[in-house]
Structures are given as structure tokens and as C-alpha cells.
């Protein structure tokens, strides 16, 4: 297939911009995947997207009848009006609404995650979708009982038959919710517009912040690639907070000593909407997060070698935050109605 000279020029300019953003010149080569625009979402072959499946997943996502007390839905902890989080330092769940040990991570752009949850214990969105339903400290329900409840609702029976050709099943629930979550893609941020050639899309402060991000502040070492995450796990020394006196993080999954206290690098896209921050919600603001990194992180015997003091000035810290603000985009694949945290009534068929 022949590529036109114009196409070659566009591709060349795009690559040059990516490399420049990382401070790469001459014979240098980027050490980390460049930040840039998001690629299309990869859809697993065993769960193709259809409009009907996404709509079924949307209904399930907002339905509190997936929980043991018919009060907690996926949207309770991952609410669209709160950046698809719950706005709390740590989630509330279980029959007594007790505080959990971890922050509710956003599902924004979770379709790009290589592993799900803070500790990466779920390999796919399908697997992730069923986890909270069965967790006694979250939705405290059984899959068998959820299937039984939904099988008694004509609207769900009809929808599952149309989408999967079967009755209500746990596998179908997982696939439908995952299909819906793959549509929660946020892009078209000032940063995205800037990388596509709009020089005025970002403020001068944000532009300085981007340079710091890729160089002096060293954010690029972990928050790299189009979704601003390396999809890896790091111990940065976040202090313990909440009911858990110790959280071993990734180690609970792998049993590898070097994974003790390590948690997944979260995306920075729409980061201004998803606080509080860190796996336990320890920091309420981005300013506090930047100061934490600037001081070399926290104390931990297993702290990552990537974490050290940065010596950022007050202005540099402010510029870095302005760049992170420029990562706030908009939902680009579907439109949705803002949903309340709970539902007092539901349509009879759904």
C-alpha cells in the first residue's frame, strides 16, 4: 500500500511532537512510551460490542438490585457526576455501609487498563464486573441470587435473550457491564487538542508543566503512554490511612516480596475530577500529591527507586498542576444522563 507524501509528513510531524514532548532530540530515543492521543479501544473477540449489549450493560450498571440489600449499584461507587468515583477517601459498602480500606478507582478509560483494581487482581473488565457483586464488604450478593432476581424481571429476560440468545446468566452480566464500561472513554482534552495542532488549547503555564512532566518532575517514568499510566505497580510510600493499618497491595496477588505495598499507576486523564487520590484516598488535592512527590514520597522499606526528591519550585509545582488540569476531557463515545447515587424507584420491567 502506497503512503502519500502528505501522510508521511503528518506522521513525521506527529512523531516529532511526541519526541519533543519527552525532551528527545538528535540521536536520543525515548525511554518511555510517549504521551499522546488515545488509540481505539481494543475489544476482546469473545465479547464484541453491540448497541443492545451496551444498553443492557448500562441498565445493569445503574441497577441496585445487583446488591444484597437492593440499594448499592455499580454507580454508587463509580458515579458519573463524581468522575465515575464516589468522591470519598475510601469506599462504603457491605450491609452496614462500613468504610473499606481502599479508594474507589475511576472507571474512566478503564478499557485501556491491562489489569483491573488497585492490586491488579482482575485480568479483564469482565472479571472485574463480577468481583464487587460477590464481595461481602461491597455489594454482598451471590451470583446465583442475582441471576435469580433478574430472571424474574421480564425486561431483563427479554434483553438477555436478544443480546446473548440465553436466559440471564452471570457470564452475560459480566459481558454486558464490561461492554458498557468500554464506552466510558474520555478524551478531547486541551492536551489532546494541543497535540493535534491547536497551539492555543493549553495555557503557557500548562505548556511549562508538560515540559516539567516529561523532564524535571519525572512523572513520565510511571504516567506514560496515551492513557498516562504504565499499567505497572509501584510502592511510593503512601502513609496508611483508614481501617487498614497495613495494605500489601500487589503482593496479595503475586506473593512476590518486591510487590509489597505496590499499587497500580492510575490514569491522569480527568484527574481533576477523581479525587481524593492514591489507593487509600490519603491526599484530598493535587497540590498535596505534587508536594508528596516533590519531597521524595513517603517512608517504606520497599519504596520504588524511581521515587526521590524533585526540588520543584512553587511556580513549577503550580505549572505541573495546570498541565494535569489540561488532561480533563469529555466523554467521546456515548452520552449518558447524570445519575443519582441511589435509585428510590425503578421501572417495573427493569
CA dihedral (93, 245, 298, 92) in degrees, to 10, reads 10
CB 327 within 8 A of CB 270: yes
Give the whole-angstrom CA distance, residue 89 versus residue 92. 10
Q: Report the pLDDT value the prediction gives residue 31, as an integer from 0 to 100.
A: 87
Cβ neighbors of 142 (< 8 A, separation 6 or more) are 134
Q: Can you list the domains of the chain with their CATH numbers?
A: 16-39+189-328 (1.10.760.10), 51-181 (1.10.760.10)
- CA end-to-end span of the chain: 50
User: Among the residues of the chain, which ranges form H helices?
Assistant: 5-21, 51-61, 74-77, 125-134, 143-151, 154-164, 170-181, 190-195, 204-214, 251-254, 286-294, 314-325
Q: Name beta bridge partners: 153.
A: none
Is 90 exceeded by the pLDDT of residue 338?
no
Span 227-244, pLDDT tens digits: 999 999 999 999 999 999
Residues 123 and 115: their CA atoms lie apart, in Å, by 5
Percent of the chain whose pLDDT exceeds 70? 86
3-state secondary structure of 28: coil
* 80 and 86 Cβ atoms separated by less than 8 Å: no
Neighbours of 108 (CB within 10 A): 26
CA distance 327 to 189: 5
Residue 230 grid cell = 504504565
C-alpha span between 230 and 214 (Å, rounded): 14
Catalytic residue among 55, 99, 114, 138: 138
Using the predicted structure, report yes or no on whether residue 322 has a pLDDT greater than 70: yes
Residue pair 84/73 in contact by the 8 Å Cβ criterion: no
Number of other CB atoms surrounding residue 116 within 10 Å: 23
Query: What are the grid coordinates assigned to 174, written together?
Result: 459480566
Q: Is the pLDDT reported for residue 200 higher than 90? A: yes
Output the pLDDT for position 261: 98
Please check the confidence at residue 143 and state whether its pLDDT lies above 60.
yes
Higher pLDDT, 19 or 36: 36
Structure confidence at residue 30 (pLDDT): 64
pLDDT tens for each residue of 36-57: 999 999 999 999 999 999 999 9
Cα dist from 59 to 8, 22, 44, 53, 196, whole Å: 45, 42, 21, 10, 35
141 tagged catalytic: no
Q: Does 210 sit behind a cis peptide bond, omega within 30 degrees of 0 on the bond before it?
A: no
Contacts of 119 (CB under 8 A, 6+ apart): 233, 249, 250, 252, 253, 263, 264
In three-state secondary structure terms, 47 is coil
Amino acid at each position: 500500500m502506497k503512503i502519500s507524501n502528505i501522510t508521511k509528513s503528518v506522521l513525521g510531524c506527529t512523531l516529532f511532537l511526541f519526541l519533543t514532548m519527552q525532551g528527545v532530540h538528535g540521536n536520543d530515543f525515548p525511554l518511555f512510551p510517549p504521551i499522546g492521543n488515545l488509540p481505539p479501544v481494543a475489544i476482546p473477540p469473545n465479547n464484541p460490542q453491540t448497541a443492545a449489549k451496551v444498553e443492557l450493560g448500562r441498565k445493569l450498571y445503574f441497577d441496585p438490585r445487583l446488591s444484597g440489600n437492593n440499594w448499592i449499584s455499580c454507580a454508587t461507587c463509580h458515579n458519573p457526576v463524581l468522575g465515575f468515583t464516589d468522591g470519598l477517601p475510601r469506599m462504603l459498602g457491605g450491609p452496614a455501609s462500613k468504610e473499606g480500606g481502599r479508594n474507589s478507582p475511576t472507571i474512566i478509560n478503564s478499557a485501556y487498563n491491562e489489569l483491573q483494581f488497585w492490586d491488579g487482581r482482575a485480568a479483564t473488565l469482565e472479571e472485574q464486573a463480577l468481583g464487587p457483586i460477590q464481595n461481602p464488604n461491597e455489594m454482598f450478593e451471590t451470583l446465583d441470587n442475582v441471576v435469580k432476581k433478574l430472571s424474574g424481571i421480564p425486561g431483563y429476560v427479554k434483553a438477555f435473550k436478544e443480546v446473548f440468545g440465553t436466559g440471564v446468566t452471570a457470564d452475560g452480566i459480566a459481558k454486558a457491564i464490561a461492554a458498557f464500561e468500554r464506552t466510558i472513554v474520555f478524551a478531547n482534552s486541551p492536551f489532546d487538542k494541543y497535540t493535534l495542532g491547536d497551539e492555543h488549547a493549553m495555557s503557557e503555564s500548562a505548556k511549562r508543566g508538560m515540559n516539567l512532566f516529561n523532564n524535571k518532575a519525572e512523572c513520565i517514568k510511571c504516567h506514560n503512554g496515551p492513557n498516562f499510566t504504565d499499567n505497572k505497580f509501584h510502592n511510593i510510600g503512601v502513609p496508611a490511612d483508614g481501617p487498614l493499618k497495613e495494605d500489601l497491595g500487589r503482593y496479595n496477588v503475586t506473593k512476590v516480596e518486591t510487590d509489597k505495598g505496590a499499587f497500580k499507576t492510575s490514569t491522569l486523564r480527568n484527574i481533576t475530577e477523581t479525587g481524593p487520590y492514591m489507593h487509600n484516598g490519603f491526599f484530598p488535592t493535587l497540590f498535596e500529591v505534587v508536594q508528596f512527590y516533590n519531597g521524595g514520597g513517603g517512608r517504606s522499606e520497599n519504596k520504588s527507586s524511581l521515587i526521590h526528591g524533585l526540588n520543584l519550585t512553587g511556580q513549577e509545582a503550580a505549572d505541573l498542576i495546570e498541565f494535569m488540569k489540561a488532561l480533563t476531557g469529555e466523554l467521546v463515545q456515548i452520552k449518558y444522563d447524570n445519575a443519582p447515587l441511589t435509585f428510590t424507584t425503578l421501572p417495573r420491567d427493569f
